[in-house]
A and B are shown apart, each in its own frame.
Chain A
Amino acid sequence: MKAQADEFDIFSTMGDLAGKVEEGQGFDILEMYKTALTIRLFEEKVDWLFARGKLGGTTHLCIGQEAVAVGVMEALRPDDYIVSTHRGHGHLIARGAEITKIFSELLGKREGYCKGRGGTQHLSVMPLNFLGTNGITGGGLPIATGAGLSIKLSGEDRVAVCFFGEGASNQGTFHESLNMASAWDLPVVYVCENNMYAMSTRFTKVSRFDDVALRAAAFGIPSVIVDGMDVVKVAENARTMVHKVREGTGPVLIEAKTYRFCGHSKSDARVYRSREQESEWKDKDPLVKMEATLLEKISHGELEHVRRSVKSMIEDSYTEAERGADPDIKDAMEGVYAEREALIS
C-alpha cells in the first residue's frame, strides 16, 4: 500500500518545501560530480579487490546511492557531526576523508584511520566529526541522537546527521531515538537511505507502507521524501532541512529513495529482485544525470579528463595504501582501554 503524503498533516506541511528552495542555486555540479565519481570508482575498486581475495571480511557497496551522500554533505559545515552505517564508504568520501587512509583501513593496515582495527564497518574520522560507520543495523541512531543532545547542552548551532537504511527503521533504536530527539528538540537530521531492500527483505514485506517518512509523523518530526538519484534535489532539500534544524526547531527526517546497484554484500546473488527492476533503476543512475547536466557546460573531452584524473587518483591511493605496514602484535593488543584522568577527590 502506498500512503499519500497529504493524508498526514505533519507530513504535508513539508510538502511545499521544494517551493521554498531556489532550484540548483549555488551548487557546484562539477565538484559534486567529482565526489560522486570518486565514490563510484572507489567502490568499483573495492569490489575488484574483494573478487580477488585481497580484502578480508565483507563489504557493502553504495554504488547507485552516491547522490544521497554527496547531496547531504553539501549542506553541512565542518563542525557538524555525522553517524554512518555499514554502507558508509560514500559518506566518508563525501565528507572529505582521504582515499588512501580509507583503503589502508580496509586493508587492515597500520596507517588506516583506525589502525586497521575497525575496517569497513567501524570506521571513524574524528577530525572530520565523523563518528563512525556502524556494523549494527540501527546502532548509530541513538549515538547520533546523543551527539544531538551534546550540541543542545553545549548551546551550539551545529547539527548531527544520522544516516540509516529503511531496514534500520524496524529496529527499536529508530523509534526510541526519534522519540527522544523530538521530545527534547534535538538538532538531528535523520537521513533514511531507502534502497528498498534490507539485505534480501523488501521493505514492503515487513512494513505496512513504502515510506519511512510516514513514521516521522508519529513523533511530530517534519519529514520530506526526495529523489535520492538526483544530487541537486537531495542537496536542495538537505540544505533547507539542515537550515531549519540549525535554527533550533528540533529534528527532521529526510527520506531519499534510492537503489543499490550491487548486492547487499560481497556474496549476494540478488535472487530477491528482478533484473528488470535493476535495469529500471540503473536508468536513473545519478552519475549519468550529473554528466548530462555537466555536458551542457563542458565538453566530452573535459569530462573524460575528469574521469581519467579521478581514476588515476584512486589507483595511486590504493597503491600507496597497499605499501603500508601491517600491524604487529603490539598494535593488535594495545588500546583496549583509554588512559584515565588524574585521580581527583
Chain B
Amino acid sequence: MQKGKLSYRKAIYNALDHVMERDEKVVFMGEDITEYGGAFGVSSDLCRKHPGRVIATPISEGGFTGAAVGLSMTGYRVIIEIMFMDFITLAADQIINHAANVHYMYGGQVKCPLVIRTPAGGYRGYGPSHSKSMENFFMSVPGLKIVAPSTALDAYGCLVSAVYDNNPVLFVEHKLLYNIEEDAYPKRLEAIPLGKARVARAGADVTVVSHSYGVQLSMEAAKELEKEGVDVELIDIRTLKPLDMAAIEASVKKTGRLVYVEEGDTFGGIGSEVVSGIVERCLPYLDGRVLRVGKPEVPIPASMVAERFILPDTGRIKEAVKKSLSWK
C-alpha cells in the first residue's frame, strides 16, 4: 500500500497504469503524453512503463480521435487525451457522427470502447479558447456517456469503469481538481459504476446538485451555510449521462428545494435538464424557488478579475441556496 495522500492527478495516473498493466489491448493516445508527461502532468512516466502503447500524436485532434475510433472498432480499448476541452471542437465529427453512432447504426455489429479524457474549466486566466466547460454541448449525443468526477477516488473508479465500458465516454477533468487530495491513501481503489450519483454531504434543507469542480465549490458554500443555519444536501452526480435522476429525485422529495451548480453555461446547461426532470417528476414536493448557478452567455475573458465576475463562486451559490428556501 502506498503512503501519503492521493491526488486527483495521481488517481487518474493510477487508473491508466492499472488498466494498461492489466490489459495489453489498452492504448493511450494524445499530444505530448510521452516524455513530456502530458500538458497537466497526468501521464508522467506511463510511456516508459507501457512502451508502444502510449502514443504521442501530432496536433491533429480530428485525425487522432478518428484513428482512435478505428482502433477501438478493431479490438482495442483506447483512451485519448484532448489537451484542453476547448479543442474538442476539432474532434467533434469523429465523436458525434462516428464514435457515438457506430454501435447503433451498424446494428450492434461493432463496439467503440473509447475514453476521451479532457481537462476543462476556468479560474486560471487562460481566456476564451482554453477555459470552457463544454459538457453540456455533448448531452444530446445518443450513444455517448459523460463522466465528470470531483474527487480523486471517483476519478480513479470512474476512469477504470469508463475504460471497461464498451461505449465512448467523455471523461471531464477540471484543471483545478488535479491537485486536490484524499485525506488518506485508500486501502483499495475500486471501480465505480457509471450512472450512480453520490451524496457528498447529507442535509435536510436544500438539495444542491453539481458535478466536477462545482462540487468542491458547493461543499465550501455548504460548510459556510451550516454556520448560518442552512443544512445543505450536496449531490455529486459524477456521471452526467446516463444521469441518476432517481438520486436527485429522492433528495428533492426530502428537502423540497433544488439548486444546480455548474461552471458551464446556465442556458442549455446540465442544470436545465436536471430542473426540467425534477419539475416533471416531483413538482408537488417543491417548497421554494428552483435555481441554477452557472455561467452567463459570455466568452470567458482572459483577465482573472473579469473571469471571476463570470464563473460561479461560493458567494453566488450561497445566495442561490438562501433564495431557494422560499418562493420570494
Complex Cα distance, B101 from A136, in Å, reads: 12
Q: Are B164 and A345 in contact (CB under 8 A)?
A: no
Whether B103 is near chain A, meaning CB under 8 Å from some CB there, is yes
Whether A239 is near chain B, meaning CB under 8 Å from some CB there, is no
Whether B68 is near chain A, meaning CB under 8 Å from some CB there, is yes
- Contact (A145, B66) CB under 8 Å given A132-B102, A341-B166, A345-B160: yes
**What mask results when residues 123 to 162 of chain B are scored 1 for a CB within 8 Å of chain A, else 0?**
0000000000000000000110100000000000100110
Which residues of chain B are within 8 angstroms of A61 by Cβ–Cβ distance?
none
Whether B27 is near chain A, meaning CB under 8 Å from some CB there, is yes
**What mask results when residues 90 to 121 of chain B are scored 1 for a CB within 8 Å of chain A, else 0?**
00011001100111111111111000000000
Say which residue of B62, B101, B161 sits within 8 Å of A173 (CB atoms): B62
Q: Are A146 and B106 in contact (CB under 8 A)?
A: no
Complex Cα distance, B144 from A301, in Å, reads: 57
Q: Are B107 and A147 in contact (CB under 8 A)?
A: no
Whether B279 is near chain A, meaning CB under 8 Å from some CB there, is no
Q: Are B58 and A345 in contact (CB under 8 A)?
A: no
Q: Are A180 and B60 in contact (CB under 8 A)?
A: yes
Whether B64 is near chain A, meaning CB under 8 Å from some CB there, is yes
Q: Are A179 and B58 in contact (CB under 8 A)?
A: yes
Whether B189 is near chain A, meaning CB under 8 Å from some CB there, is yes
Q: Are A113 and B109 in contact (CB under 8 A)?
A: yes
Q: Give the contact stretch, choosing among A51-59, A254-262, A290-298, A331-339.
A: A331-339
Question: Please, how many residues of chain B have a CB less than 8 angstroms from a CB on the other chain?
Answer: 53
Complex Cα distance, B15 from A344, in Å, reads: 11
**What mask results when residues 135 to 167 of chain A are scored 1 for a CB within 8 Å of chain B, else 0?**
110010111111111110110000010000000
**What mask results when residues 185 to 219 of chain B are scored 1 for a CB within 8 Å of chain A, else 0?**
00011110100000000000000000000000000
Whether A218 is near chain B, meaning CB under 8 Å from some CB there, is no
Q: Are A118 and B105 in contact (CB under 8 A)?
A: yes
Q: Give the contact stretch, choosing among B39-47, B71-79, B312-320.
A: B71-79
Which residues of chain B are within 8 angstroms of A179 by Cβ–Cβ distance?
58, 60, 63
Whether B57 is near chain A, meaning CB under 8 Å from some CB there, is yes
Q: Are A336 and B142 in contact (CB under 8 A)?
A: yes
Nearest A residue to B90 via CB reads: A172
Whether A183 is near chain B, meaning CB under 8 Å from some CB there, is yes
Q: Are A153 and B70 in contact (CB under 8 A)?
A: no
A178-214 at interface with B (beta carbon < 8 Å): 179-180, 183
Q: How large is the interface on A (under 10, 10 to 19, 20 to 34, 35 or more residues)?
A: 35 or more
- Contact (A335, B108) CB under 8 Å given A147-B70, A149-B70: yes
Whether A126 is near chain B, meaning CB under 8 Å from some CB there, is yes
Q: Are A131 and B73 in contact (CB under 8 A)?
A: yes
Complex Cα distance, B191 from A176, in Å, reads: 35
Nearest B residue to A160 via CB reads: B70
- Contact (A144, B110) CB under 8 Å given A173-B62, A341-B164: no
Which residues of chain A are within 8 angstroms of B254 by Cβ–Cβ distance?
none
- Contact (A335, B66) CB under 8 Å given A139-B97, A340-B166: no
Complex Cα distance, B66 from A136, in Å, reads: 12
Whether A233 is near chain B, meaning CB under 8 Å from some CB there, is no
Chain A nearest CB from B275 CB (Å) reads: 24
B34-52 at interface with A (beta carbon < 8 Å): 52
Complex Cα distance, B60 from A142, in Å, reads: 10
Complex Cα distance, B157 from A343, in Å, reads: 10
- Contact (A113, B166) CB under 8 Å given A143-B66, A147-B70, A180-B58: no
- Contact (A177, B67) CB under 8 Å given A114-B105, A118-B107: yes
Closest 4 pairs between A and B when the two form their complex, measured CB to CB: A146-B70, A142-B66, A176-B63, A146-B67
